[in-house]
Structure 1
Amino acid sequence: MNRTRRTVLVAHPSSELYGSDRVLLESVTALVDDGWDVVVTVPDDGPLLPEVVARGARVRRCAAPVVRKSALRPLGFVRFVGTAVRGLVDGMRMLRQERPALVYVNTVTVPLWIGLGRLARVPVLCHVHEGESSASPLLRRILALPLLLANTIVANSRFSVGVLGGSFPSLERRAEVVYNAVPGPPERTPVRASIDGDLRVTYIGRLSPRKGVDVAIDAIAELDRRGVPATLDLVGAVFPGYEWYETALREQVEKKKLGDRVSFRGFQPSVWEYVHGGDVVLVPSRADEPFGNTAVEAILSGRPVIASATSGLLEATAGYATATTVVPGSSDSLADALVGTIADWEDTRANVGSDAEAAERRHSPGAYRRRIAAIVRGNARTR
């Protein structure tokens, strides 16, 4: 194929539209705007793909094993190896056909593409969106090991870099922090003048145990016990294979008689309607988070956020008057913070505007795109 533009091959583990998927779109836009022919390879179909095409990139599907906990089980490991074999053959074929100047691996969960790029003697950039200091040292080293083969490492937070350094100090020295681009809503809807009636609480993200969705439900139950009326919108869906967790959440709601208080909204490609329809956004993660896009989205929308005081969430919420952090996994702590939100509503109203403006400066898509384009340009193979 005769091209006038050089190619960047971007490997991504999924076709959904959650945090790292949306950051991928900003990276794609950065590269397309910088004049690259961008090819995004994913293992499956999903709502991400039309968005990728709309940004001016091409899409190619290729089997690639994704590192998940299920791969640690015997059947999961067999499937992982089988997918890796198919991905090795198909991926090398794709590299020969596309002849990229750089392979951009978006997250450490698709390590096969790091190896394929090096086998093909193509520079590899890995963009790290993960960081779990609570995982076992062995597991952290296994996840970080493929990064030793990457030519360039970009991470979305200082916390993520620190986790890498805990496994291999050389990775911490080599990694460059680029904070996520987090686009805000088309326009901000003002918060209510006062909390009359129910406090409207919103959770946005995947429904999974590590995200602490059940903790949020328990907090609403605790508010009900205290005589503080509140509703909770759950905006998101489960990973395939985690349907049991949604079932457990629904049973929890029924058991606590919160059917008129908690609503399951499912996955929504645009979340702004739900953010603006609420008074406060929760990010109640139990486990480490490398960053906190949802927390930033809340602040950009002019809404206060209550987040777990853990890992990258502390980094994401630092410096904002309308951000509160709580003990991870504690529904009482979460309920206390929600009551505090009502009590401090006048101060919240006074600070949401300046916090939103600060978040816009810190997470500007334009600045992010310029950084990513410059890093790729500086590390891609010359003709």
Structure 2
Amino acid sequence: MSGAGRARRTILVAHPGSELYGSDRVLLESVSGLVDDGWDVIVAIPGDGPLVAELRRRGARVELCASPVLRKSVLRPRGFLRFAATTARGIRAGSALLRRERPAAVYVNTVTIPLWIGLARLARVPVVAHVHEGEATASRLVKRVLSAPLLLAESVIANSRFSVGVLESAFPALGRRTHIVYNAVPGPETRSPARPQLDGDLRVTYIGRLSPRKGVDVAIDAIAELDARGIPARLDLVGAVFPGYEWYERDLRDKVEAKRLQSRVSFRGFQPSVWDFLSTGDVVLVPSVADEPFGNTAVEGILSGRPVIASATSGLLEATDGYRTTVTVEPGDATSLADALERTIAEWDAAAPLLDDDAETARRKHSPESYRRRIAELVRAVARR
């Protein structure tokens, strides 16, 4: 039955941030699916940011509501005190919001805000938890602590087989009740064709946070390696650091200066739309050195009609599987990354005809329309009547 044929019910969606990176953009597609299905959607986020305007544009109401977010800073004394204070505020604010809105379901987006699962269950509201995280290398204790709240959810959604495997390693029962829904990744309105010939510098693009786990430093080292081989390449870094990681951007800039790559590496900052940068580039790098539950940026590269070089790890292997213009390399190995970039130049003529086919395959696999319908179905199945 379509949303227009049912009485309008409220769903509370909880999300840990207000930026426009991977899980934030996927959230927008979840919200669109729920709005299209006839839900009155209210999204609770802890602070203002660019995501707020996008949520409202999609038809959601937005409530700024204190909520503790599990981050590594919690392990430090000052961070723990901040976390405890935010938890106290979050209990009061979240409980009041649930009483006021009386939602038919609560949709918790990521495992980093478990308080919402507990508050919803205390209010006897069904919970759908959407998992966007997965670190197979974490200790079993850490995995169990992060995954335990999911046992209280009526339904769990994961964005990859890899993420399900991480959940199963913590609690086997979670694997049996988790639904895999691959991320919706909208492509560009129009796809710009790749350059027919690579005249001049190779144009390399990195999209995402500037974070140690993302391997941005490895990408810079690969550009330096190409320079030493006499192969001219330019790297656009499109993204910004998470608050508290400003030191990492300083380290990256120092590395660029030390290697005399100021004319070859550009810091473009956060950009609400990445397609202009992808369309002017030749190849996309996803050089993560830590586990990734999936790889939205890899899919964006494929959708833009560009070759993608990604780390051979975790969910990135899943995100790049089945495409003829993607290559995976050893994580953290700048020489392997440089070798792959050099092969991209050598094999450009052979790869160019395959780019459009790969882009079309990715468009079908990560269709926002199919994703929205599936999310609405899963929520509808557990919501209170």
Output the TM-score relative to the length of structure 2.
0.98
Instruction: Output one character per residue of 1:70-95: Cα deviation in whole Å (capped at 9) or x when no partner.
Output: 01111111111110111001100000
The CA distance in 2 between the partners of 1:46 and 1:146, in whole Å, is 27
Q: Alignment partner of 1:240: what SS? A: coil
The CA distance in 2 between the partners of 1:256 and 1:381, in whole Å, is 60
The CA distance in 2 between the partners of 1:334 and 1:233, in whole Å, is 16
| Residue matched to 1:18 | 21
| Residue matched to 1:88 | 91
The CA distance in 2 between the partners of 1:14 and 1:348, in whole Å, is 38
State the identity as a percent: 70
The CA distance in 2 between the partners of 1:156 and 1:279, in whole Å, is 28
Letter of the 1:93 partner, please give it: A
Cα shift at 1:348: 1.5
Instruction: Output one character per residue of 1:15-65: Cα deviation in whole Å (capped at 9) or x when no partner.
Output: 000000000000000000000000000001100000000000000011111
- 4+ aligned runs moved over 6 Å, structure 1: none
1:123 to 122, 126, 133: 126
The CA distance in 2 between the partners of 1:140 and 1:222, in whole Å, is 37
| Residue matched to 2:214 | 211
Please give the residue correspondences for 1:232-381 in structure 2 after superposition, counting only pairs within 5 Å. Answer: 232-381=235-384
The CA distance in 2 between the partners of 1:109 and 1:350, in whole Å, is 42
The CA distance in 2 between the partners of 1:301 and 1:41, in whole Å, is 32
Counterpart check, 1:231 vs 2:230: no
The CA distance in 2 between the partners of 1:54 and 1:348, in whole Å, is 39
Instruction: Output one character per residue of 1:224-259: Cα deviation in whole Å (capped at 9) or x when no partner.
Output: 001100000000000000000000000000000000
| Residue matched to 2:152 | 149
The CA distance in 1 between the partners of 2:148 and 2:336, in whole Å, is 37
Counterpart check, 1:133 vs 2:136: yes
> Which consecutive unaligned segments of at least 5 residues does structure 1 have?
none
Q: Alignment partner of 2:47: what SS? A: coil
The CA distance in 2 between the partners of 1:237 and 1:153, in whole Å, is 30
| Residue matched to 1:32 | 35
Instruction: Output one character per residue of 1:299-350: Cα deviation in whole Å (capped at 9) or x when no partner.
Output: 0110110000000000000000010000000000100000010011012111
The CA distance in 2 between the partners of 1:190 and 1:38, in whole Å, is 38
Counterpart check, 1:187 vs 2:193: no
> Which consecutive unaligned segments of at least 5 residues does structure 2 have?
1-6
| Residue matched to 1:50 | 53
| Residue matched to 1:65 | 68
Q: Alignment partner of 2:357: what SS? A: helix
| Residue matched to 2:3 | none
| Residue matched to 2:177 | 174
Instruction: Output one character per residue of 1:197-237: Cα deviation in whole Å (capped at 9) or x when no partner.
Output: 10000000000000000000000000000110000000000
Instruction: Output one character per residue of 1:236-283: Cα deviation in whole Å (capped at 9) or x when no partner.
Output: 000000000000000000000000000000000000000001000000
